[in-house]
Amino acid sequence: MTVADSAWVLHVDLDQFIAAVEVLRRPELAGKPIIVGGRGDPTERAVVSTASYEARAFGVGSGMPLRIAARKVPEAVILPVDHEAYLEASETVMATLRAQPGATVQVLGWDEAFVGIETDDPEAYARSLQAAVFERTQLHCSVGIGDTLVRAKVATGFGKPAGVFRLTSANWLDVMGDRPTKDLWGVGAKVSGRLAKLGIKTVAELAAADPQTLIPEFGPRMGPWYAQLGRGEGASVVDDSPWVARGHSRETTFQQDLTETAQVAEALRELTARVLEDIGAEGRPVIGLTLKVRYAPFATKTYARKIPETSEGNEILARVLELASGIEAGRPIRLLGLRAEMPMPDDARKGHTPTRSGW
């Protein structure tokens, strides 16, 4: 698809997806505060996977400890995570998007995708797309319209729930200029704080920043990229090439804190074995490791290292245990996570918006 006046990027985001799937299975839950996480037991250690809009109104959000969410909304319906049900619903939605006339679909996750189209009326196309998804799945979605992937992604937030919103070079700064940089896709609270130390607090200030001034803080790749984000610029072509994972990660929340070195070592061996199973299915070696440690009550640290390319399980385990030497001795641990990075194959997608590892 070539970039032209009639070429548009649509970002489709299913509204409260996991909660909505649960309501479809249990219509009596409609309108009630729903929290989905772990095994659905707030007395266990788990985090919120999603919350319905009714629960979000009480301050419940993804990643919040389930027990805290339950205290915020005592009347909430708390349900266990059902990966298979969400995957089935997601696949139906994505198949519906691909079936739309002239659509090029780039899947971003269970509940969102970019759709590239050529049309003179992107709003009408977006509404027809929403209708098709609802007719097939009874799920509502919001659609952001943009002339770049970044602008389409950001626009979706203004369309929620179940609406349509357009962001282009013409209205980008009018809509986004006075907003804090953390409202940008790809800029979280930490990066926003680092930008603030440079005197950059708003999107307009980031858009006006000289990319070279950001390099000392963020490096030669990410510095200019953040400046580009501030302008809403970047890729404008939706790529439907099969997604290729850069890595695999696993994590375990322990119902009882780990306090002994032997316990930690055994947990790391089990975690490494699970990650190696995922890596083995890819047929690619490991080139980097990141160990995530969440100390009680809720302080998280990560330890990362590049390693010589290898597919040897024992060597990878040895590298993991080396990383674990940074763990603070005697400090109770409630969660361990491990991510293994892999080299991208020659046919991997190029030129896409950089993303964080997920941790």
Catalytic residues: 112
Q: What is the SS3 assignment for 334?
A: strand
* 213: Cα separation from own chain's centroid: 28
DSSP 5: T
Strand order in the sheet with 77-79: 50-51, 34-36, 77-79
Exposure on the CB side of residue 283, measured as CA atoms within 13 A: 2
Distance CA 327, CA 332 (A): 10
CB atoms under 10 Å from CB of 74, counted, come to: 8
If 0-12 CB within 10 Å is exposed, 13-18 middle and 19+ buried, where does residue 101 land? exposed
Return the residue matching tokens 């919120």: 48
Amino acid letter, 110? W
Cβ atoms 241, 349 nearer than 8 A = yes
Cβ atoms 296, 257 nearer than 8 A = yes
Q: Tell me which residue of 173, 164, 227 sits closest to 204, measured CA to CA.
A: 173
Q: Tell me which residue of 185, 198, 197 sits closest to 228, measured CA to CA.
A: 185
